[in-house]
């Protein structure tokens, strides 16, 4: 029973810590599927976290906060669309600009929010399930955004692989010029992909501040957005694999927290490097694998190799 408790606890805390990252990872997956890389998800997350938290403080309603955060992320991603699709600027440079803009604006306006606290979501009423041993205790720790994350990935996967608009997205990501000859307007699809990614990364940022940490600190995402961009490659641009890939990060973070609470004599600063190092290792593995088997959308491969 103790082992079961430990595993269930580990699973749930891993899920909880990977949820914000998951939404960003899914959003970036969809954006990259239309052939656009957006490093600005870090800034979109921050602006989403800020607006989400501020709205929750102001209205007392975490759901309104989530919506506000998602909308803010989407608005910021429109700058990326303007620069990269309309003006054909470099993805990476535009992403860095967005990252600074989102981070700068959220730190600027968020200075008064530091130290404030919110309630977060009310517990989900599980009814009779709450009384099942182990399962009940695990369920009690799930929040609405965690629960939602279990369904959003498969839904996006179904949409991408099984519907006509999804086919158009994949066609544009593979080759914008070939898609154009099929009668698709690649620019329009790219805009859709960028705005969807912006919405999801803003939502992810909001889930971090409104649901996970329930506070606001400047630059609180600490590279989660950039890790998401790396993990997209590990998830091989597949929405179904977004959650397992994000869980890799969540499990690492849960493990470091657990090790610290168990009193392991390693500096917390060194332990905090683990998620980045794990991401680095799987990124290298992802690249190595993609080189062996392919699977990177063609236009995207050119963007990542800077040969476009």
Partner 1 sequence: MTNRPWLRETAWAIGTALLFLALCAGFFLLLGKHPLELIWQVALGAFGDKYSATETLVKTTPILFCALAAAVPARLGLLSVGQSGQFYLGAFVGTFFVLRFPAATPAFIALPAMLLCAGAGGAAWGLVPGFLRARVGVNETLTTLLFNYVGSLLVDWAVYGPWRDPNNLGWPASPPFPEAAKLPSYLGSRLHAGLFIAIALAVGLHVLLTRTRWGLMLRVMKSNRKVAESAGMRYGLHVVAVMAMGGALAGLAGICETSAIQGRLQSGVAANYGITGFLVAWMAGQHLIKILPLALVMGAIISASDALQLFAELPSAIAVVMQAMLFLSVLGIAGWRKRKGV
CB of 33 to partner 1, least distance (A): 17
CB of 162 to partner 1, least distance (A): 30
Question: Contact at 8 Å (CB) between 227 and 275?
Answer: yes
- The pair of structure tokens assigned to 50 is 């800020």
Question: Contact at 8 Å (CB) between 298 and 268?
Answer: no
Nearer Cβ to partner 1, position 4 or 114? 114
In angstroms, the CA 13 to CA 19 distance is 10
Nearer Cβ to partner 1, position 105 or 257? 105
Nearer Cβ to partner 1, position 146 or 278? 278
- The pair of structure tokens assigned to 91 is 């993805």
CB of 105 to partner 1, least distance (A): 6
In angstroms, the CA 4 to CA 13 distance is 14
CB of 100 to partner 1, least distance (A): 4
Nearer Cβ to partner 1, position 118 or 233? 233
CB of 293 to partner 1, least distance (A): 14
Nearer Cβ to partner 1, position 146 or 226? 226
Q: Which of 126, 129, 144 is nearest to 15 (CA)?
A: 144
What are the residues whose beta carbons fall under 8 Å from the beta carbon of 210, sequence distance 6 or more?
Answer: 49, 52, 53, 56, 62, 65, 66, 69, 118, 120, 121, 145
Q: Which residues form the interface with partner 1 (CB under 8 A)?
A: 39, 79, 82-83, 86-90, 92-94, 96-98, 100-101, 103-105, 107-108, 111, 218, 222-223, 226-227, 229-230, 233, 267, 269-270, 272-273, 276-277, 279-280, 283-284, 287-288, 291, 304-307
């Amino acid at each position: 029973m103790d082992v079961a408790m430990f595993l269930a606890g580990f699973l749930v805390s891993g899920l909880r810590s990977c949820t914000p990252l998951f939404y960003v990872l899914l959003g970036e997956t969809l954006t990259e599927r239309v052939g656009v890389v957006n490093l600005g998800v870090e800034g979109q997350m921050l602006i989403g976290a800020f607006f989400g938290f501020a709205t929750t403080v102001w209205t007392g309603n975490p759901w309104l906060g989530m919506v506000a955060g998602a909308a803010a992320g989407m608005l910021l991603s429109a700058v990326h669309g303007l620069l990269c699709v309309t003006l054909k600027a470099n993805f990476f440079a535009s992403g860095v600009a967005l990252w600074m803009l989102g981070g700068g604006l959220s730190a600027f306006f968020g200075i008064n929010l530091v130290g404030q606290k919110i309630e977060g979501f009310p517990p989900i009423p599980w009814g009779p399930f709450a009384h099942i041993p182990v399962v009940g205790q695990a369920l009690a720790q799930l929040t609405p955004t965690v629960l939602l994350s279990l369904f959003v990935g498969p839904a996006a996967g179904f949409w991408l692989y099984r519907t006509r608009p999804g086919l158009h997205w994949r066609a544009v990501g593979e080759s914008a010029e070939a898609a154009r000859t099929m009668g698709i307007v690649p620019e329009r699809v790219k805009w859709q992909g960028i705005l969807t990614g912006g919405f999801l990364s803003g939502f992810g940022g909001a889930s971090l501040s409104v649901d996970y940490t329930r506070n606001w600190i400047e630059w609180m995402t600490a590279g989660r957005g950039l890790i998401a961009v790396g993990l997209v490659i590990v998830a091989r641009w597949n929405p179904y694999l977004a959650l397992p890939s994000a869980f890799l990060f969540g499990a690492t973070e849960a493990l470091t927290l657990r090790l610290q609470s168990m009193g392991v004599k390693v500096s917390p600063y060194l332990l905090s490097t683990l998620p980045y190092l794990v991401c680095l290792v799987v990124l290298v593995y992802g690249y190595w694998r993609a080189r062996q088997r392919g699977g990177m959308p063609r236009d995207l491969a050119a963007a990542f190799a800077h040969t476009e």
